[in-house]
Amino acid sequence: MKIIIFGAPGVGKGTQAKILSAKLNIPHISTGDILREAIKSQTELGKKAKTIVDSGELVPDDIVGEIVKETLTSTKCKNGFILDGFPRNVYQAELLESMLKEISNFGLILIKLNADDEIIVKRLSSRRVCSNCGNILNEAEITNDFICPVCHAKNSYYKRSDDEESVIRKRLMIYHEATAPVFNFYKNKAAIIEVNGTHSIEEVTKEILDKLSFRQS
Could you give the dihedral angle defined by the CA atoms of residues 134, 59, 15 and 156, in that order, rounded to the nearest 10 degrees?
10
The predicted model scores a pTM of: 0.87
Beta strands in 103-178 (DSSP E): 108-114, 127-130, 136-138, 157-158
Domain boundaries defined on the chain: 2-115+177-216
* Mean pLDDT score, 21-44: 92
Give per-residue pLDDT as tens, 93-151.
Answer: 999 999 988 877 568 999 999 999 999 999 999 999 999 999 999 999 998 889 999 99
Tell me the C-alpha distance between 12 and 10, whole Å. 6
**Could you tell me whether strands 108-114 and 157-158 are parallel, antiparallel, or unpaired per DSSP bridges?**
unpaired
Which of 25-29, 45-49, 205-209 is the least confident region? 45-49
Question: Based on C-alpha coordinates, what's the Rg of the chain?
Answer: 18
Give per-residue pLDDT as tens, 142-193.
Answer: 988 899 999 999 999 999 998 999 999 999 999 999 999 999 999 999 999 9
Please, are residues 6 and 87 in contact by the beta-carbon 8 Å criterion? no
What CATH fold (topology level) applies to the domain 2-115+177-216? Rossmann fold (3.40.50)
Tell me the C-alpha distance between 123 and 141, whole Å. 13
Residues annotated catalytic, as ranges:
13, 88, 127, 160, 171
CB neighbours of residue 105 within 10 Å: 15
